[in-house]
């Protein structure tokens, strides 16, 4: 019984240590999510500025020509996780990538080693695997690296048209996450059409110092940067939110298990105390009966 009680104490100490680790991970997830959320809001303002530039360009030079989605080169960029402890985050994204792979299958650029494993589980081989940024400063470097990579792929293939899609996890209602597929290239005709239909509100007409071709290329490149940056920031926010939710669940499970162990220890101590009391009572009763037996034996000896 003593060994069992000692084992329960060791289990309780172990659960307390694990709870400390889980609490630390929960705090880190909450702290890490905040800068990425601020970055997502900031890049949203930058994206709005770029769209204002596109609006000015369209107001001056007319609507952009429609581009067909049927490009001879299809690329999917999947923003996943490089670390665990976030549930089925990467598996859900891998399912979303699989649904949008199409025929012929798209070439996949993967962000995160865990995401690469999830894609391999679906039978999808990543063409390139990049590491997610370790901090907010890395978001810009990742977006720039992806733009350069897309340029290199297009130049190496000599593709006349390229279709690029982004797959990432976004925040949904009630603290949930949902996978999202967003078109990157060609530019969404609905977006450019809305810019073309929007009247120019200023009394001054837009004027530019760059040639139209170079200006449009710069605006499109800035728009791509904003979209990639925003998708990476949103993915990291939801990843940390998913990890925070899992740590909260683990913390509740650990607290329940600690309460069970505490109840078992109380029951074990009570049983131990009861056993000791019974031993004392039995010993006391045995001592009480011994003098009476001795007296009976003496009376028997003195009888004639």
**Domains in the chain and their CATH numbers?**
22-252 (3.40.1380.10)
What's the rounded Cα separation, in Å, for the pair 109 and 126?
6
What is the rounded average pLDDT of the residues 51-59? 91
Quick one: which of 109, 125, 108, 112 has its CA closest to 86?
A: 112
pLDDT for 251 beyond 80 = yes
Instruction: Round the average pLDDT of the chain to a whole number and report it.
Output: 85
Question: What pLDDT is attached to residue 294?
Answer: 54
Question: What pLDDT is attached to residue 234?
Answer: 94
Mean pLDDT is highest, among 20-29, 152-161, 222-231, for: 222-231
pLDDT for 166 beyond 90 = yes
Percentage above 90 pLDDT, the chain: 38
Report long-range pairs for 170-173 (Cβ below 8 Å, ≥24 apart).
Answer: 170/234, 170/238, 171/234, 171/237, 171/238, 171/241
pLDDT for 174 beyond 80 = no
What's the rounded Cα separation, in Å, for the pair 272 and 266?
10
In this prediction, residue 99 has a pLDDT band, given cuts at 50, 70 and 90, of: confident
Tokens of 24: 């630390």
Question: What pLDDT is attached to residue 177?
Answer: 86
Across 166-170, 225-229, 231-235, 241-245, least confident range: 241-245
Question: What pLDDT is attached to residue 297?
Answer: 55
Which carries the bigger pLDDT value, residue 296 or residue 254?
254
Rg over alpha carbons for the chain, rounded to the nearest Å, is 35
């Amino acid at each position: 019984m003593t060994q069992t009680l000692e084992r329960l104490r060791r289990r309780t100490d172990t659960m307390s240590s694990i709870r400390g680790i889980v609490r630390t991970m929960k705090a880190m997830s909450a702290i890490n999510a905040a800068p990425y959320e601020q970055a997502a809001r900031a890049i949203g303002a930058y994206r709005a500025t770029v769209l204002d530039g596109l609006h000015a360009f369209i107001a001056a030079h007319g609507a952009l020509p429609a581009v067909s989605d049927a490009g001879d080169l299809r690329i999917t960029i999947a923003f996943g996780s490089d670390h665990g402890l976030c549930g089925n985050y990467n598996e859900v994204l891998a399912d979303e990538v699989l649904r949008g792979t199409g025929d012929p299958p798209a070439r996949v650029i993967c962000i995160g080693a865990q995401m690469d494993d999830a894609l391999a589980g679906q039978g999808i081989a990543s063409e390139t695997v990049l590491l997610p940024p370790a901090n907010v400063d890395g978001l810009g470097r990742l977006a720039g690296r992806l733009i350069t990579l897309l340029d290199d792929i297009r130049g190496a293939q000599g593709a006349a048209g390229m279709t690029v899609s982004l797959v990432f996890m976004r925040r949904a209602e009630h603290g949930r996450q949902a996978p999202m597929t967003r078109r990157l290239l060609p530019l969404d005709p609905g977006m450019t059409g809305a810019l073309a239909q929007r009247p120019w509100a200023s009394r001054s007409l837009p004027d530019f110092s760059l040639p139209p071709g170079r200006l449009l290329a710069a605006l499109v490149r800035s728009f791509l940067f904003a979209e990639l940056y925003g998708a990476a920031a949103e993915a990291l926010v939801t990843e940390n939110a998913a990890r925070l939710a899992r740590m909260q669940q683990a913390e509740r499970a650990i607290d329940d298990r600690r309460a069970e162990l505490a109840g078992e220890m109380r029951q074990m101590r009570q049983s131990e105390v009861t056993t000791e009391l019974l031993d004392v009572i039995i010993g006391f009763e045995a001592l009480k009966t011994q003098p009476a037996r001795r007296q009976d034996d003496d009376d028997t000896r003195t009888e004639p």
